[in-house]
Amino acid sequence: MDPVSTEQVAEFRRFNRYFTRRIGALDDHYLGQDRPLGEARLLFEIGEGVSLRELRGRLGLDAGYLSRMTKTLQAQGLVRVSVHPGDSRLRVVELTRAGRVELAEQNRRADALAAGLLEGLSGPQRDRLTEAIGTAQRLLRLAGITVTRVDGAAPDARACLDAYAADIDARFPEGFDPSDLVRPEEVSGDAGAFLVAYEEGRPVGCGALRRLEPGIGELRHVWVHPDARRLGLARRLLAALETEATTRGLTTLRLDTHASLTEARAMYRACGYTEIPPYSEHVYGDHWFEKRLHPPGN
Amino acid sequence: MDPVSTEQVAEFRRFNRYFTRRIGALDDHYLGQDRPLGEARLLFEIGEGVSLRELRGRLGLDAGYLSRMTKTLQAQGLVRVSVHPGDSRLRVVELTRAGRVELAEQNRRADALAAGLLEGLSGPQRDRLTEAIGTAQRLLRLAGITVTRVDGAAPDARACLDAYAADIDARFPEGFDPSDLVRPEEVSGDAGAFLVAYEEGRPVGCGALRRLEPGIGELRHVWVHPDARRLGLARRLLAALETEATTRGLTTLRLDTHASLTEARAMYRACGYTEIPPYSEHVYGDHWFEKRLHPPGN
DNA sequence: CATAACCTTTGACTGTAGTCAAAGGATTGT
DNA sequence: ACAATCCTTTGACTACAGTCAAAGGTTATG
């Protein structure tokens, strides 16, 4: 990776300082108003019935701390705590009517804060701001996603493939037969690779590489979770898969895709893949692509 | 002002949440490391010799709280406290060598954090991110600036005019004679108006409107503090001055400017002003502009 | 020159955030 | 059926953040 320019680091830190001081602080202060911040955040995360376990994980809180905060919210009549139907060790907490009112008020205040801020701008300026923060958020998310190789049989790998299969099944008129998925041994060891993209610990994308014949590899199941689309993650996965292929001495990569996946086809073209005649008899493909890889020396 | 779209408010809040949770929290946590956050922030603000009074204002701290924090920093040998030379009520605090080392370490860590984040992006993506956060910051700053009318004799007005005069004096080869500034009575009452732009309580720009002859007004001293340039503030001032003119029934605005102020001339043109022959004998102008105003009904 | 205003220090608090360990009920694996 | 594991509760703390009021020295103001 190329080194990060110090000017960009400085710019980023400037923004960070400005934003947290000006917006973050304001937000924290006004959001809770007459309620401790921890409680306000908790209220916000509860939504419609969550287990304490889930909340602990999401907010990164100590079990005891969370238990106490929940109790005070309960004492104020804002939440209701009950035993989880399926597992009596778990407690499920949900908002009462009063809790929903409180949450709505909290949202109203935060909305008013944001609206008040945007009010100082003209229409086009607001559009530019919205555009800029959208871009910034997408890039920051992408920067926080890591792509790593995992075993083809690992739970995260199977979870991704299941999600992929369900996704395709819903999108193809003819459905999708899960037996067409790669088998773990096809993407293990020297035979191939299975890559998973993680965002904050959760798998949000995957891609498989397997050997077709000497010097030629095939990409399969390049998939990105719906929540993580439009970030440029597919390209990242593609690049990582190509690196895997190069280190294995493969010189050509092939893949097939479906006519209905228009964005995917456009992306493959943009990434240097060219359409070729069918090279295989996959059931679900009707467009075939190929790319020549450059040796690692370059 | 047009109402703010709820979609834009939602987008802004989404970004706000994401950013404070992901970046702000990280920053706070790692910045101090083995030091309370308050102390770390204090250390950061001290720089090279500041009075406690100044710090109190900048960080919004309680006098007692600040006094105590300063004392613990002093006990750790990070700062030196002395009496202000001009006013013995004030204390001046400055970093010791050890304090500067500590601050450098703090900066190094924050830089590393930012760099680590940017490392997940390719060069062009980093450029896009830098561009986006720059745009966002400029627009957020602009949104936080308010333009209000003040009396032409008010301290803030005079401060702006002094800064304007010094600015022009340094930029014009022939210098600038402060007696050419508008007199308070020219911009008071119905005669004219003096507008000051405030960012977080500090004046960062100004503009004057005075009556030239019936129906015709003149804009003078439109000025933006160097720290607040390139935000679009001059246009805001211009628009506000035009509103003032319209409510006074003026139908034409004129102004003169100097050949060396190229950006200013470009802005006037972009804002609908057209160049006209000289209408006055101002010493410092050599380009004259005019704009017809539309009645408020439109 | 007295008095008001100002800046800092000190003492005495309060509330929030957060940690750690022990204990008890519930579930899972063997 | 027994042990190990899991989830929550409770008690006992610690540290940080922040407020309020009294007091003492210093400077401006009439």
Largest CA distance in chain B: 69
pLDDT exceeds cutoff 70 at B82: yes
A281 or B138: which leads in pLDDT? B138
Span CA (B211) to C1' (D27), Å = 45
Integer Cα distance of B115 and A71 in angstroms: 41
Give me the pLDDT at residue A283, please.
Answer: 67
Indicate the helix (H) or strand (E) that contains A239: helix A233-247
> Which of B7, B22, B37, B129 to mutate to test binding with chain A, by most A CBs within 10 Å of its CB?
B129
* Average pLDDT of the residues in B80-90: 94
Radius of gyration of chain B (CA): 24
CB B221 within 8 A of CB B208: yes
In sequence order, which residues have a C-beta less than 8 Å from that of residue B189 and are 6 or more positions away?
Answer: none
Give me the pLDDT at residue A32, please.
Answer: 62
Q: Please report residues of B whose CB lies closer than 8 A to that of A31.
A: none
Integer Cα distance of B284 and B102 in angstroms: 51
From residue B281, give the alpha-carbon distance in Å to each of B67, B185, B210: 57, 21, 16
Integer Cα distance of A147 and A206 in angstroms: 8
pLDDT tens, B174-185?
778 888 889 988
Integer Cα distance of B66 and B38 in angstroms: 9
Domain residue spans of chain B:
6-120, 144-292
Q: Is A189 left (phi over 0), alpha (psi -120 to 50) or beta?
A: left
Does any strand C atom come closer than 7 Å to the Cβ of B51? yes
Give me the pLDDT at residue B201, please.
Answer: 82
Give me the pLDDT at residue A30, please.
Answer: 66
* Average pLDDT of the residues in B30-51: 86
Integer Cα distance of A111 and A161 in angstroms: 39
Coil, strand or helix at B230? coil
CATH of domain B6-120: 1.10.10.10
Q: Please report residues of B whose CB lies closer than 8 A to that of A12.
A: 114, 117-118, 129-130, 133
Coil, strand or helix at A19? helix
From residue A192, give the alpha-carbon distance in Å to each of A178, A208, A264, B116: 20, 7, 22, 30
Coil, strand or helix at B221? strand
Token pair for B269: 């043109």
DSSP string, B246-273: HHTT--EEEEEE-TT-HHHHHHHHHTT-
pLDDT tens, B194-210?
999 999 888 999 999 99
Four-way CATH pick for B144-292: 3.40.1050.10, 1.10.1740.10, 3.30.1330.100, 3.40.630.30: 3.40.630.30
Indicate the helix (H) or strand (E) that contains B213: strand B202-213
DSSP state of B229: T
DSSP state of B179: G
Give me the pLDDT at residue B30, please.
Answer: 66
By C-alpha distance, which of B127, B284, B297 is closest to A5? B127
pLDDT tens, B232-243?
999 999 999 999
> Which of B14, B18, B133 to mutate to test binding with chain A, by most A CBs within 10 Å of its CB?
B133
Q: Which of residues 89-118 of A touch strand C (CB under 7 A)?
A: 89
The partner residue sitting opposite A16, judged by closest CB among B11, B18, B27, is B27
Give me the pLDDT at residue B32, please.
Answer: 63
CA distance A139 to chain B (A): 6
pLDDT exceeds cutoff 80 at B282: no
Give percent of chain A with pLDDT exceeding 70: 96
From residue A197, give the alpha-carbon distance in Å to each of A238, B92, B221: 11, 52, 56
Q: What angle do CA B251, B253, B256 make, to 5 degrees?
A: 165
- Please name the amino acid found at residue A165: A
Phi, psi at B256, each rounded to 5°? -125, 155
CB A210 within 8 A of CB A182: yes
Token pair for A72: 């005070």
* Average pLDDT of the residues in A120-131: 95
pLDDT exceeds cutoff 80 at A296: no
